Structures are given as structure tokens and as C-alpha cells.
Chains A and B, each alone.
Chain A
Amino acid sequence: MLNPELKLNPKLFNPDVEQVPIRKGFGQGLLAAGEVDKNVVGLCADLTESTQMNLFAEKFPERFIEMGVAEQNLAATASGMAAMGKIPFISSYAMFSPGRNWEQIRTTICYNDRPVKIAGSHAGVSVGPDGGTHQAIEDIAITRVIPNMQVISPCDAIEAKKATLAIAKTKFPTYLRLVREKTPIITTEETSFEIGKAQVYWIPDVGLAQVGIVATGALLYKALLAAKELEAEGIKVKVMNLPSIKPIDSEALIILAKETKAIVTVEEHQVAGGMGSAVAEVLSQNYPVPIEFIGVHDKFGQSGTPDELVEHYGMGKDSIKDAVRKVLKRKS
């Protein structure tokens, strides 16, 4: 059942569950952050509406810089603004920022330790028809590897808004991973969010869980659907939402591993270097258990509908259920 303490969306399993793009939550969060702190500034590389920075740009035109299609300059200019006390949010598609401008992010933002917030929209294969060039599935790997950087991947628009407000208050460079398509609303305004914290969203009705599923981003919804069906089939699982990939909640992961002794990670990203790898780094050193990884296995994306692509690359509900059954067998 859904963890009652976390006040999640009670209509989550309804067929007509409300769906909102995660990037919308960023747009609202940035507007709110701008109202709280006059040092918050926005810079965008010719995708202001698409990344939802338009809400901020319309309200605070004097604090918004249109950069044109120049993501390298986007990152380095933001670093200079941060050097003067600003809290810059930069936005583009994840493939171009932090994709195209990775070295600018490393040198001018992270090496300088400047509090620039990098909002990368259109992450994952669920970008859909635009095809593989625009589907960032390497972004978690290339950002979490940089010292000083935080990496946050919200599961829905409400969590994205909270995350945007939270990262505006920290002094760390931060990558915020956003998704284009509408995805189900999982949390509510009452659900807590904290950088560095993971929470268990699904718990067995009674008894201990046999498998722990750790999910990040919108695929958390598929993991919850899988958990509900597995429960009906007699397999008890816990589903953890892990929005904060760096810093990672090692303590919560170790507790989950100790209870379940088998883990499945779920992310819309390459298996290599992503959230699952981060989880494996923690558990292999502290409490080694079998892990199955749901994600893209060393392939590029392609055109299609989001659902077709999620299924094709083995990240849908049934793939998650299969992975749970597989890891259960590996336990003994």
C-alpha cells in the first residue's frame, strides 16, 4: 500500500490520475524562488517557454538573460554572475546542458564552486518523437561524477517545484533533471522533500518486504504500478523514491537492503553510471546484495511515443516485475 505517512496522491492508481509535465513544476518553482530571493536570476538558451523559464522571465524581465543557442556561454556566463552574488538558474534541454557544455560546467561552475543551478529539460527517452539526438540518457552519469555537484531528479511536477525552491537555497552547483511529457502526479503539497533524503513510498500491507525497488524520476510511477500488482501476486516489495542522487541517502538504502536483501533500481537513463550505479556503489561497500538494473542498456534512443520507447528499452511495469522476480531468485 502507499505509505500513509507521506500523504501521497490518493488518486494515484485511478485511470484518470492527474498528469502534469515535471518541467512545469520547475517553472512554478523558479517563479516562487525569484519572489523569495532577488538574487535569483534566469538564463536560457533559446528554449524559454519549452523549459518553462518563461514564467520567471515574464515576471522578472530585468533578471532574465536570453542567451541565444549558446549553451557553453550559458554555463560560463552564469558562473560569472554567481561570482557577483547571484543565484543563476540556467535552462536548456539536458542533451545540450549539461551535455554540450559539460566542460564549462566542470571548470567554471564546479571547480569554481559557484551556486549555479542547471535545469536540464527533456531528459530520458520519453522525449519521444524528436528521436535519439534529443533524448538525454547519459546526463546523470556526467553530472554526478563532478565534485561539488548535487544531482536531483524529481518524480513529478509537485516534487520538481519543491526541489527548485530547495536548491535555490543551497550554495552548491546543482543539476536538476526534468522531463518533457505529462507524467502522473504522485506526491501532494504535504509530502516532504529534502535534498539528500530518500523515502519509501510503497510498503507491504503486512510483514517485511522481499525486494526493495529504488526508483528516480517519472518511472517511479511504473514502479508503484508494478508493486501493486506484485502485492496481489503475493510478492511483497518496498518502493523507494530517490530524487536526490547526489548527495545520496546511504543510510536509507542500507536499511532497505538489510530488510529485503535484494534490490531493483529503476531509472530512465543508461544503466552505466546512472542512479543504479550510485546505489550499487553504496551497497557494495556497506551491505552487498543482488541488484537488478532497469534502464537503457548501452543503446541510443529513437523516435516513438513515450510509452512505446519506455517499453522498447525495457523500463515498463512488466520489465520491473520481471526484474523483481529475477532478483528474488538470485537471493537464495
Chain B
Amino acid sequence: MHVPDGFIDAPISAATGVVAAAAVAVSLRGARRELDERTAPLAGLVAAFIFAVQMLNFPVAAGTSGHLLGGALAAILVGPYTGVLCVSVVLLMQGILFADGGLTALGVNITCMAIVTTVVAYAVFRALVKVLPRSRRSITAATFVAALLSVPAAALAFTLLYAVGGTTDISIGKVATAMVGVHILIGIGEATITALTVGAVVAVRPDLVYGARDLRRRLQLRVNGALVDAPAPEPARTAPVAARTSRRALWLTGLATSLVLAGFVSFYASSNPDGLEKVAADQGIDEKAEEHAAADSPLADYGVKDITDARLSGGLAGVIGVGVTAVAGTGVFRAVRRRRTTQDVSPTSTSV
């Protein structure tokens, strides 16, 4: 998905460059809160990890394989700010050193792949974790959904940029259908791998997973046969910054999630009807196909496959979107209410 030079026109490239610079500036500040003065080495090593893990090939079927994009993974493992920062640095280095993605398109690349992916993934993840029961399995499930939605969201962001500043007038319906359709397939692969990876880390070192910090239990002492909360010995090294989200933040997260989902689904639905006749478009826009999961469709029988894919993925997007919106919507209310009633009861249903 690395956009080359000349793909998006100059004004939009400049505008996204400003957006990217602002987001990186905000993330630098936020990452200092997430990691304090350990930011440089830790974020650097995590960026190196993202860079390396993008080279890890996951075989799909005979001869084809996909790899991880890593935005959702970074957001959930090390937090949204550090995640944006790490992915941005990876993109910057790929642009300058490996000529992968144009220098003038750096803003577009960072906006789509670092910012949108990470922010959408983390917002969805937070909302789901609030709603689901506090357990390791729900962390994995939330990771799956977050990663699944983050990839088509990035594709959609790219489509919007293309609609405003594309250098070729391909109809936006075509671009959206092909981009989102293909990226939902990619998203399924990404989601599976991300969920498995986060699950593996949670099983071994749950304290390292930023998204699972709510899961940590207070130390309890058995005093005369009764469990008593131990007094906090010292402020924990990774003092939770975003962990105790206020109710207002919770509301905002839920609202943002449902807005993103609603916009995403409705946009997709409106562009779906003419997806059938635009087989060529599907074939044309899936630049990612070469290096990703969609590589299993040979050119010869693209037609049939892509029509079914478009339908299937359209339906899938609808179901997932509506379902998650509904769940998130009702869940926010329930979580708020539950929080109000069970303010002081110490959680006991964790399995870590």
C-alpha cells in the first residue's frame, strides 16, 4: 500500500504532510507519557520489531503468502501514541532508505497507514475491551475485530484522499469497491495473525501488553483467612495513563467508533451496486495484492472470484459494522452503569 510519487496531486500531498507532522508531534508528546524517558530506546526497538515482523511470511496457500502490516499490533502492544510513532518511523525509513513509497507521498502514507490504522484499531479495541468481560480471551477477540476493521479503514482513508487529489479520474465507486473489498480480505489475514500474536504475548507477559493493562490484578493478601487488597507499594513503573479513562472519554470513544463504523458501512453500501460490472477495477486497484493475501486469485478467473468477493465482503462489512456499532452502542451504556454501581468491588474474574 506504499503510495509512490505522483499518485496523489501536490496540494493534497502537502496537506496530508501537515496532518502527518501534527500527528507525529502529538504522538511524540503522548509517547513520552506512555514510556517517559525510555521513549527513545523502547520505541526504537519496537519500530525495529515492526520492521522485522513485516518480513515474516505467513503462507496462505500453495506458493502464496502474506505478511503483517503491524499498525493494530503496535497500537495494542505499546499504546496508540507509541504505535503511531513506531509505524511512522518505519514508513519514513522505508521511504528514505528503501525507496518504498515516494518522498512526497510520505504524508499520504503516514496518514493512511500509521495514523488511521492505529487510531481506528485502538479506538475499536478500547471500546470492545470496555464492553466485553475482563478476560484474556476478550483481549484476543477485541484485537481480532480491531485489526480487522483497521485495514479497510486505511483503505477507505486512501480512497477519500484519492477522491480529493487523485491524478487519474477513475470513478470513486470503483476505487472504493476494489480497495475496501480487497482490504477486507487482507484485514481478515491481518486480524488472525495480530490476534494470535497478541494472544501469545498476553499468555506470557501480560504486563507488556498496553491494551491489557486493565487486566492486571491488584496484589491481594490473605489476612486471617480474608482477602485484603495490599497497599500499593509504589507507583507502578508503567503508571496507567489512559487506563482509568473517565466516563467522558468513554463516551467520546464510543461515539467516535460508531461514527467511523457508520460512515464506513454507509459509504461502502452506496458504492456496492456498481461493483458487479467493474471487475476490471477490482483488478486494477488492488496494488496490495502482489504482496498480500489476495494473491490467491489468478488473473484468469478474476471475474468470478471478484464478484463473489465483492458481494461477500460487502455483506461481511455490513454485518460486522452494524453488529459492532450496536454492540458498542449498548455496551457503552452498560459499562457506564456497571462502573457506577460496582465502583469499589475489586474485580475477581480475571484469569491472568
The reply to whether chain A is a binding partner of chain B is: no
Mark B residues whose CB is within 8 Å of A: none
Mark A residues whose CB is within 8 Å of B: none
